[in-house]
Amino acid sequence: MDATGAVGVGGRDGECHAAQVVGADGEMDAAAIERFAAAAGLQGRGLSYAVVSILGPQGSGKSTLLNHLFGTSFREMDALKGRHQTTKGIWIAKAAGIEPFTVVLDLEGTDGRERGQDDTAFEKQSALFALAVSDIVMINLWCHDIGREHAANRPLLRTVFQVLMRLFSPRKTTLLLVIRDKTKTPLEYLTQALKEDIQKIWDSVQKPEAYKEAALSDFFDVEATALSSYEEKEELFKEQVGQLRQRFYHSIAPGGLAADRRGVIPASGFSLSALQIWEVIRENKDLNLPAHEVMVATVRCEEIANENLKQFLSDKGWLDLNAAVESGLPPSFGMRLSAILDSYLSEYDMETMYFDEGVRAAKRQQLESSMLDHAYPVIERVMEHLHLVALDKFKGDLEQSLRHTEGFAESVRRCSQTSMAEFDAGMTAFFMQIQQLNMCSGMLQKLGINCKSIYKLM
Ligand SMILES: Nc1nc2c(ncn2[C@@H]2O[C@H](COP(=O)(O)OP(=O)(O)OP(=O)(O)O)[C@@H](O)[C@H]2O)c(=O)[nH]1
Ligand SMILES: [Mg+2]
């Protein structure tokens, strides 16, 4: 970072390279997003992350701005080689040195043409994607375009508002208007003119019945900032970018730039969510975000449950317990089994913490049930041992008591009582050990044992 607070071009503090996630052909590279999320350490962030994207005309300095603002290394146009389109598709990177974790998306520039109903145009698809996944969408605008009837930003803003209508129950997004090549006109005047412009565009966009009365502010928090020209006044540009960067620190905290966000997908579901959203957009379907959230929760909770089940089955403690049961009754069997099962359920609880409550509870039950299916034969072996021990004791006691001249019937009655008491004590000890697991009733049900009779023993 230089003296102005701006981070230099090219991700110099070496955090994570930019990766292309949507190619020029419009296909999303799922593996690339997953690699990015793993390499950058996104997965473990829970809800503590922000997503920022940028929309704007081709060649308007979007990638240059992102690189200075976030220390990323998106490809920029080479000023000496003339103007041509540089960013194709969608690229992703992690902002360097910003808390919370901030995902930055660099999007292909718009060409400024009106597109009418052609929703298949990449421009509309990428704008919809940006709105669906981002907490903050930056809109890059040329200062000299503000107030001009045929300026490039009008079709862009119209596109943003049109695609918004295809989001069923959209999340609230911060629209940060970034005015480039700022003139001497004060920011307040520029902002005022822009906001009026935006309001007009919003009013003119056709809205479905459900959104007829909706206000712009229902969907967006509109903010504006202006930057001097990077080409003409580089030092000033860097200073202003340094100030703008400050606004991205703690962006999701109360009062922050993205404080009003809703319906956040937990970070471990980000890759899956982005992929699904892109597919729906490419199929030209409407996006039902609440249903999407449940879908992501279902897939992720299931994956997490399966992973925990797999780890349980190869857990050393569990394998030792299995082996020990073959040759007798392992000490503290119930306690050890409880501890193992409990650790995987706790792990599942931790990893699914931020997903839909109903979904995670249902998948937890499935995990519990699958683990019990595996534990069941082992518990049966334990019960067999307890039976055998009780039977041996019964036989030994009976032989002894018959030697001591007791009547046969009386001996059998007394010996079976003490053996049964021992068996009961063994069972009670076992179930006491697993009781704190909260799985006791589920386990007993699987074993076909009537809970009441066991609790009577305890
Ligand atoms: N006038 C002006 N030019 C700039 C500014 N920032 C960058 N440029 C120049 O604009 C050209 C395009 O820069 P990029 O950052 O690649 O622009 P882009 O919007 O990402 O371009 P595409 O990805 O092709 O849409 C480069 O020659 C930059 O040097 C600026 O603030 N003002
Ligand atoms: Mg670019």
As separate numbers, helices (DSSP H) first and strands (DSSP E) second, the chain gives 15, 9
Question: Both 312 and 245 in a single domain?
Answer: no
- Residue 86 Cα, ligand 1 centroid: separation in angstroms? 9
Give the atom of ligand 1 at the shortest distance from the alpha carbon of 180: 31
Residue at which a domain ends, from 226, 256, 285: 285
- CA–chain centroid gap for 152, Å, is 35
Q: Does 6 fall in a domain? A: no
Cα 219 from Cα 202, distance rounded (Å): 11
Q: Is the peptide bond before 100 cis (omega within 30 degrees of 0)?
A: yes
Residue at which a domain ends, from 285, 315, 335: 285
- Residue 98 Cα, ligand 2 centroid: separation in angstroms? 21
- Residue 112 Cα, ligand 1 centroid: separation in angstroms? 16
Beta carbons of 165 and 118 less than 8 angstroms apart: no
- Residue 148 Cα, ligand 2 centroid: separation in angstroms? 24
- Residue 271 Cα, ligand 1 centroid: separation in angstroms? 29
Ligand 1 site residues (CB inside 6 A) read: 58-64, 76-77, 79, 85-87, 109, 180-181, 229-231, 237
Q: What is the pLDDT of residue 271?
A: 96
Question: Both 374 and 254 in a single domain?
Answer: no
Q: What is the pLDDT of residue 303?
A: 96
Identify the residue whose C-alpha is closest to ligand 1 atom 27. Answer: 79
Identify the residue whose C-alpha is closest to ligand 1 atom 8. Answer: 61
Q: Does 104 fall in a domain? A: yes
Question: Both 131 and 43 in a single domain?
Answer: yes
Beta carbons of 33 and 274 less than 8 angstroms apart: yes
Give the atom of ligand 1 at the shortest distance from the alpha carbon of 84: 24
Q: Does 154 fall in a domain? A: yes
Angle, nearest 10°, between helix axes 357-403 and 289-313? 30
Give the atom of ligand 1 at the shortest distance from the alpha carbon of 228: 31
Question: Both 247 and 342 in a single domain?
Answer: no
Give the atom of ligand 1 at the shortest distance from the alpha carbon of 78: 27
Q: What is the pLDDT of residue 382?
A: 80
Give the atom of ligand 1 at the shortest distance from the alpha carbon of 58: 25
Q: Does 11 fall in a domain? A: no
Identify the residue whose C-alpha is closest to ligand 1 atom 14. Answer: 61
Ligand nearest to the CA of 109: 1
Q: What is the pLDDT of residue 344?
A: 96
Give the atom of ligand 1 at the shortest distance from the alpha carbon of 66: 15
Q: What is the pLDDT of residue 81?
A: 63
Question: Both 61 and 88 in a single domain?
Answer: yes
- Residue 92 Cα, ligand 1 centroid: separation in angstroms? 18
Q: Could you tell which of 54, 77, 239 is best to mutate to test the pocket of ligand 1, judged by most ligand atoms within 8 Å of the CB? A: 77
Q: What is the pLDDT of residue 123?
A: 86
Question: Both 281 and 379 in a single domain?
Answer: no
Q: Does 398 fall in a domain? A: yes
Tokens of 307: 């992973």
Q: What is the pLDDT of residue 148?
A: 76
Identify the residue whose C-alpha is closest to ligand 1 atom 17. Answer: 61
Please give the C-alpha separations between residue 64 and each of 87, 186, 359, in angstroms, as whole numbers: 11, 24, 42
Ligand nearest to the CA of 83: 1
Identify the residue whose C-alpha is closest to ligand 1 atom 9. Answer: 61
Q: What does the pLDDT profile of the chain (458 residues) look like in tens digits? A: 333 333 333 334 445 689 999 998 899 999 999 999 999 999 999 999 999 999 998 899 999 999 999 999 998 887 666 666 788 899 999 999 999 999 999 999 887 666 666 656 888 899 889 989 999 999 999 998 887 766 667 788 888 888 888 777 667 899 999 999 999 989 999 999 888 888 988 998 888 888 888 899 998 999 999 999 999 999 999 999 999 999 999 999 999 999 888 889 999 999 999 999 999 999 888 888 888 999 999 999 999 999 999 999 999 999 999 999 888 878 888 888 889 999 999 999 999 999 999 999 999 999 999 998 898 888 888 878 777 877 787 788 878 877 776 677 887 888 888 878 887 777 777 776 666 455 555 555 655 554 444 444 43
Give the atom of ligand 1 at the shortest distance from the alpha carbon of 227: 31
Find the domain containing 359 and state its range: 298-457
Question: Both 277 and 370 in a single domain?
Answer: no
Q: What is the pLDDT of residue 210?
A: 83
- Residue 115 Cα, ligand 1 centroid: separation in angstroms? 24
Question: Both 192 and 100 in a single domain?
Answer: yes
Question: Both 257 and 341 in a single domain?
Answer: no
> What CATH number does residue 139 fall under?
3.40.50.300
Q: What is the pLDDT of residue 449?
A: 53
Q: Could you tell which of 58, 69, 86, 108 is best to mutate to test the pocket of ligand 1, judged by most ligand atoms within 8 Å of the CB? A: 86
Question: Both 249 and 304 in a single domain?
Answer: no
Question: Both 178 and 306 in a single domain?
Answer: no
Q: What is the pLDDT of residue 259?
A: 80
Q: Does 293 fall in a domain? A: no
- Residue 73 Cα, ligand 2 centroid: separation in angstroms? 11
Cα 190 from Cα 179, distance rounded (Å): 9
- Residue 119 Cα, ligand 2 centroid: separation in angstroms? 22
Question: Both 254 and 324 in a single domain?
Answer: no
The two beta strands, 49-55 and 90-94, are: unpaired
In the chain, the amino acid numbered 374 is: H
- Residue 108 Cα, ligand 1 centroid: separation in angstroms? 12
Domain count, the chain: 2
Q: Does 58 fall in a domain? A: yes
Beta carbons of 443 and 434 less than 8 angstroms apart: yes
Q: Does 99 fall in a domain? A: yes
pTM of the predicted structure, to 2 decimals: 0.82
Residue at which a domain ends, from 227, 255, 285: 285
